[in-house]
Amino acid sequence: MHGQDIVPGREKKRRRTTGIPAWKRTLDLVLIATLSPGLLFLSTVVALLVKAGSPGPVLFRQRRIGYKGQEFTCLKFRTMRSDAETESHRQHTQSLIRSRVPMVKLDARKDSRLVPLGWLLRATGLDELPQLLNILRGDMSLVGPRPCIPYEYELYEPWHRHRLDAAPGLTGLWQVSGKNRTTFEEMVFLDIDYSKRQSLGLDLLIILKTLPAIWGQYCDLREGTREQAVTSSRELGKSWQSYLL
């Protein structure tokens, strides 16, 4: 037919949109280029720790949902054993979405699936360094909502999905506003708020607050581990008392 340029049997490929404004893309590239020597050093150290601590690949690849529901492959340093099951995480995520309890990570309680020092890599965010490659590819930005897993996205109500009206990021407004002390709905509200107010000034403020937020998260984890150890010790003491009596 005249005027048609579609080849029979071939579908027109949908163009992927990143949702990353020019100012935001410029900020990402400038900061990564400036910090690249230190980032490469840290990445090498983490890769060696993962390789020495557990057999299997150094990198972990996972499908994630990003801007406007678009899927992409997210990269991380592997912090779990290669044969680790995932059903417990699915159930934990479902419980967090349907309840109003703080979003404490499943691995905050000495998850046996973690590789040696995996808890430390997660608490400090060092396991997410490979996502700088996602940023360079345009899948993500330095600042934005965390991309979710497909089965998590399927549990979202329609209004929850508006948290992905901004490009996903390594850090974000939620991460520097309490993170594990917030509920799922509070996270959604914070991400939606960011998507509406994102600006160069707000991104710079969030980046400056990220390191203190990571340190606070690490201290919370250490405190939780210490309390858990004390509780276990008390329970063990009570067990021995009962046995001796």
Cα gap 59→179, rounded to integer Å? 25
Q: How confident is the model at residue 230 (pLDDT cuts 50, 70, 90)?
A: very low
pLDDT value of position 112: 79
Cα gap 107→119, rounded to integer Å? 7
* pLDDT beyond 80 at 164: yes
Tens-place pLDDT, residues 58-85: 999 999 999 999 999 999 999 988 877 7
Using DSSP, state whether 160 is helix, strand or coil.
Answer: helix
Tens-place pLDDT, residues 123-136: 899 999 999 999 99
In 3D, which of 158, 150, 196, 194 has the Cα closest to residue 175? 194
Contact 191, 174 (CB under 8 A): yes
* pLDDT beyond 50 at 174: yes
Rounded mean pLDDT of 102-123? Answer: 78
Question: Percent of the chain beyond pLDDT 90?
Answer: 58
Beta bridge partners of 61: 75
Domain ranges of the chain: 22-226
Residues 181-200: b if buried by 16+ CB within 10 A, e if exposed:
ebbbebbbbbbbebbeebee
Residue showing tokens 């990021």: 169
pLDDT value of position 106: 64
Contact 115, 81 (CB under 8 A): yes
- In the numeric block, which tokens belong to residue 156? 């979202």
Cα gap 139→66, rounded to integer Å? 8
Q: How confident is the model at residue 236 (pLDDT cuts 50, 70, 90)?
A: very low
Residue showing tokens 């001796």: 244
